[in-house]
Amino acid sequence: MLQGLKWIGVILDKLIETIDLSYSYRSGEGEAVRALSRVNMAVYRGEILAITGRNGSGKSTLARHFNALLTPKEGRVLVDGLSTADKANTALIRRKVGMVFQNPDNQLVSSVVEEDVAFGPENLGLPREEIINRVDEALNTMKLETVRHENPHHLSSGQRQQIAIAGVLAMKPECIVLDEPTAHLDPRGRREVLQSALKLNREEGITVVLLTHFMNEVIYCDRMIVMDRGEVRAAGAPQEVFMQEELIREMGLDFPVATRIASALRSRGYPLPPSIMQAEELIEGICRLK
């Protein structure tokens, strides 16, 4: 009975679920390094989830389990109820969960924008008209129509990352995992890519998982997960997680700028609410002070 209820739960809202997932790899010296230990987490359908943690915390390793680039050695990963350990599911899982990586230069295949976007749908073996439709749609969503015949190498790094996102979008996934997509970008490119990620979630209804160590990106997400040494240390709405000040410091993470200012003001006797994350909230809070 309980098993049955859990199964219904998976179908209804958990798009990706990890159950006691552990993963270790051999280091250069041949020692086993534990990258993930007993991770239990879920990505809910339709949400935008941030996964943070310092370098080597295991967030990238975790993300690579989401579309079967890595398969669990211990524990299980279910994508839409399908186990990633079963090779027969791999193709379907990769259709459901797309992935964008850090460096746009290392993931673009073609030297023409539209041809790169078509690479994924071509791999799916779709008919020609369908590929053209999807490429048009993806370029349209990412505002790339004007550069569709250009060489990505001649565009800005922010635009190159948008092309990578469009390439995944054209595969019509239910979920897009962005693995530190802004790490190699300038501030402007970072803003553009973040905005596209939010747009995909809000307008296209795609589930988004954003790996990042920029707290100003986390504040726009529905939920956040904090990873450290292969373990999930905190999960919840960003407001709640940032209130655990001790933990955030211990994890070596920052606070969002507005949260930091609000906390500094609070320590000087201004009664600001502890849930402030965005600049607008801070402004509103200050205006409410008399």
Partner 1 sequence: MELTKNITLGVYLPGSTSIHRLDPRTKILAAAILIILLLFVRTYEPYLLFSLFLFAVVLLSRIPVGYALCGLKPMLPVLAIMWVFQLFLFKTEDTAVLFSWWIFEATEAGLHMGNLISLRVLFLFTTTTLLTLTTSVVSLTDGLESLLKPLAKVGLPTQELVMTLVIALRFVLILAEELEKIVKAQMARGVAFDRGNFLQKTKKLFPVFLPLFIGAFKRAEELIVAMEARSYTGGRGRTKMKTLRFGRVDLYSTLATLAFSALLVFTILRSGPLY
Q: Which is nearer to partner 1, 53 or 120 (CB)?
A: 120
Residues sharing a CB contact under 8 Å with residue 176, sequence separation 6 or more, in sequence order: 97, 98, 99, 100, 165, 168, 169, 197, 200, 206, 207, 208, 209
Asked if 234 is part of the footprint of partner 1 (rule: CB under 8 A), the reply reads no
Cα gap 5→11, rounded to integer Å: 10
Helix (H) or strand (E) holding 88: none
Q: How far is the CB of 179 from partner 1 (least distance, A)?
A: 10
Phi, psi of 80 (to 5 degrees): 55, 35
Helix (H) or strand (E) run with residue 46 in it:
none
- Per CB under 8 A, the list member of 11, 109, 264, 283 interacting with partner 1 is 109
Q: How far apart are the first and last CA of the chain?
A: 57
Looking at beta carbons only, is 144 or 232 nearer to partner 1? 144
Query: Which member of 40, 111, 140, 195 binds partner 1 (CB under 8 A)?
Result: 111
Q: Is residue 26 near partner 1 by the rule CB under 8 A?
A: no
Phi-psi region of 169 (alpha: psi -120 to 50; beta: other; left: phi over 0): alpha
Considering the complex, state which of residue 21 and residue 164 has its C-beta at the smaller distance from partner 1.
164
Assigned token pair, 122: 């071509």
> For residues 76 and 219, what is the distance between their CA atoms, to the nearest angstrom?
30
Of 43, 77, 118, 215, the one binding partner 1 (CB under 8 A) is 118
* Token representation of residue 262: 């609000």
Q: Does 221 bind partner 1 (CB under 8 A)?
A: no
State which of positions 87-106 bind partner 1 (CB under 8 A).
Answer: 91, 94-95, 98-99, 101, 103, 105-106
Task: Decide whether 154 or 188 has the Cβ nearer to partner 1.
Answer: 154
Using CB under 8 A as the binding rule, the residues of this chain from 126 to 185 that contact partner 1 are: 126-128, 131-132, 135, 149-151, 153, 167-168, 171
- The count of residues interacting with partner 1 (CB under 8 A) is 40
Shortest CB 122 distance to partner 1, Å: 5
Partnered with residue 19 across adjacent β-strands are: 76
Nearest-angstrom CA–CA distance, 156 and 88: 39
Please pick, from the candidates 10, 19, 41, 124, the single residue that binds partner 1 as defined by CB under 8 A: 124
Positions in the binding site for partner 1 (CB under 8 A): 67, 69, 91, 94-95, 98-99, 101, 103, 105-112, 114-115, 118-128, 131-132, 135, 149-151, 153, 167-168, 171
